Chain A
Amino acid sequence: MNGNYLLQQLINGLGLGSVYALIAIGYSIVYGILRLINFAHGDILMIGVYAGFAVVMVMHAPFLLALIIAMGVAALMGVLLERVAYRPLRYATEEATMITSLAVSIFIENLGIMTVSAQPKPFRVPEYLSVIHNWGQVSVSNMTLLIISLTIVLLLVLVLFVTRTNLGIAMRACADNLNAARLMGININVVVSVTFAIGSALAAVGGLMLAGQYGRIDPLMGFIPGLKAFIAAVIGGIGSIGGAALGGFILGLAEILLVGLLPPAFSPYRDAFVFVILILVLLVRPSGLLGTGEGRRS
């Protein structure tokens, strides 16, 4: 093993971590306001990716347009999902909404299998994204560079949004104290819709990056990344935006480094590492790395 190898793994880990971070934010901001764990989040991602896929493959549109379409469709689906499935349960128990989100997840996945078939479809990214740079013994594709830089840009935009705009500050206020936010004249339903839109759009970006990386998509593609991003959100402290990003990067790096540094015999246990990391973090910090340790909303 040498320094180049480690650097290579770090870059790969940052790429995967970016994807987890983008997806994890949706879990975290929704949970922050509604105390709802939206297990259908990964499936919204899948819908967004298929929309992006459609414009690229069918209309031969540029990748950037696919990205925008995927974000837009996912945002709309997220808003619709909340309106139809979760809003009627706004005052139900956390258990009821969690089970509902699982049901919605299974529903969307099966709807996907019925409409576009379970058969994976090849997803090709444009030539310029497949270009691989060789810097010494480290090789990095444009796709990886795009993932990392796009994630950083989107995170910065999100931070500006929640600290500089009225709507963004209102979002944080809702997560802090929903009743007090109502008393400020904030229309909670608008904020919740915006939250779902943002979380879903970011997840769609993550999904499209995964699709570009693996070169294929299928109706169940959101499940495992969704689950891992949820774990990332919990590791970082669910409810916290910074925590979700941090958890995503930690998880991505840890996953890649463990696979890369341990003997190859351990590779099949890649997903198990994720849970081991989760357990270790929660043993030390039960409310996550940046979690506030607030109890459940009564």
Chain B
Amino acid sequence: MPEAMLELEKLNIYYGNIHALQDVSLTVNKGEMVAIIGANGAGKTTTLAAISGLIQSKSGKIRFENQDITHAPTHQIVSSGISHVPEGRQIFSSLSVAENIRLGAYQRRDQKGIQEDANWIYSLFPVLKDRRSQIAGTLSGGEQQMLAIGRSVMSNPRLLLLDEPSMGLAPLIVELIFDVINQLKERGMTILLVEQNAYQALSQADRAYVLETGRIKLSGTSSELINNEEIQKAYLGG
């Protein structure tokens, strides 16, 4: 019996009059990589923003490791063990690479562990190490994505939310990024991944949910979905 780490139960979110998420329920089990796929505007980013408390839901529940975090402020959600790599990277572009990494560990006080994790991030992404003192806004898109992931991992999360990590990146860089994401998973991190690139997502994740205009339309293991005719037509260009 898999152990549920994150549970969303009938989550409803509105932007003014727009019903952005409608009764969205999903589960992420410990150790899994779960993907949410869907078109632009389907509510994928909204789902992640709701989990990390950036957006408040109108109704429904969010539970993380059996704790109700539905109305917890973001800084408490981070300290409970969730880290979020936001859409469009959102690195601190006027700060140095090292300062970005340091802020990822903002709530931690174990200097030794922080240093070890920073070294580990720099070994995953050696280019970041070379550019430690560079202003982050001057990095290339791929390097910024590496920094966004590295920064996020510095909080030592048990659940990592990844929003479109492949967006706008060259195929080679996408491969590198997903290679690191798989290493994170092997290290024991549970991953909830949002992707517009459905093929990329389904080839990496264990399971996936298909979000369509704010509703969960389908869910299943990646191999089930990848062979589903409807999915192939709508999302895989088949």
Contact = CB atoms under 8 A, between A and B. Distances in A.
Contact of B103 (A170, A175, A179): A170
Contacts of B199: none
A169 B99 CA distance: 7
Contacts of B83: 183
A181 to B, nearest CB: 8
Contacts of B99: 169, 172-173
Given A183-B84, A185-B78, A186-B103, A176 B94 contact: yes
Contacts of B86: 179-180, 183
A177 to B, nearest CB: 5
Contacts of B93: 176-177
B31 to A, nearest CB: 23
Nearest to B104: A184
A173 B91 CA distance: 9
B90 A173 contact: no
A182 interface: yes
A164 to B, nearest CB: 10
Contact of A170 (B74, B84, B106, B151): B106
Interface string B81-119: 001101000111111000100111011000000000000
Contacts of B73: 187
Contact of B74 (A175, A177, A183): A183
B56 to A, nearest CB: 11
A180 B92 CA distance: 8
Interface string A177-202: 10111111111100000000000000
A149 interface: no
Interface string B110-153: 00000000000000000000000000000000000000000110
Contacts of B74: 182-183, 185
B232 interface: no
Contacts of A182: 52-54, 74-75
A139 interface: no
B120 to A, nearest CB: 18
A186 B106 contact: yes
Given A179-B54, A182-B74, A183-B84, A173 B79 contact: no
Interface-central residue, A169, A175, A184, A186, by most chain B CB under 10 Å: A184
Interface range, A side: 10 to 19
B54 A173 contact: no
Contacts of B53: 182
B155 interface: yes
Contacts of A2: none
Given A169-B99, A184-B155, A186-B75, A177 B106 contact: no
A187 B95 contact: no
B102 A180 contact: no
Given A169-B95, A173-B92, A185 B102 contact: no
B151 A179 contact: no
Contacts of B104: 184
A185 B95 contact: no
A176 B100 CA distance: 11
A172 B106 CA distance: 13
Contacts of B102: 166, 169
A292 interface: yes
A170 B99 CA distance: 9
Contact of B91 (A166, A175, A180): A180
Contacts of A292: 94
A36 B38 CA distance: 38
Interface string A156-176: 000000000010011011011
Count chain A CB atoms within 10 A of each CB in B91, B93, B95 and give the residue with the most.
Answer: B95
Interface in B38-74: 52-54, 73-74
Contacts of A173: 92, 95, 99, 103
A180 B95 contact: no
Most buried by B among A169, A175, A181: A169
Contact of A184 (B54, B78, B94): B78
A177 B84 contact: no
A184 B103 contact: yes
A158 B52 CA distance: 32
Interface string A125-155: 0000000000000000000000000000000
A166 B54 contact: no
Q: Which 4 interchain pairs have the tightest Cβ spacing?
A: A185-B78, A180-B90, A182-B74, A185-B107
5 contacts: A170-B103, A175-B94, A176-B92, A176-B95, A181-B103
Given A177-B93, A179-B86, A184-B78, 4 more contacts: A169-B103, A170-B103, A185-B78, A185-B155
Interface of A: 166, 169-170, 172-173, 175-177, 179-188, 292
Interface of B: 52-54, 73-75, 78-79, 83-84, 86, 90-95, 99, 102-104, 106-107, 151-152, 155
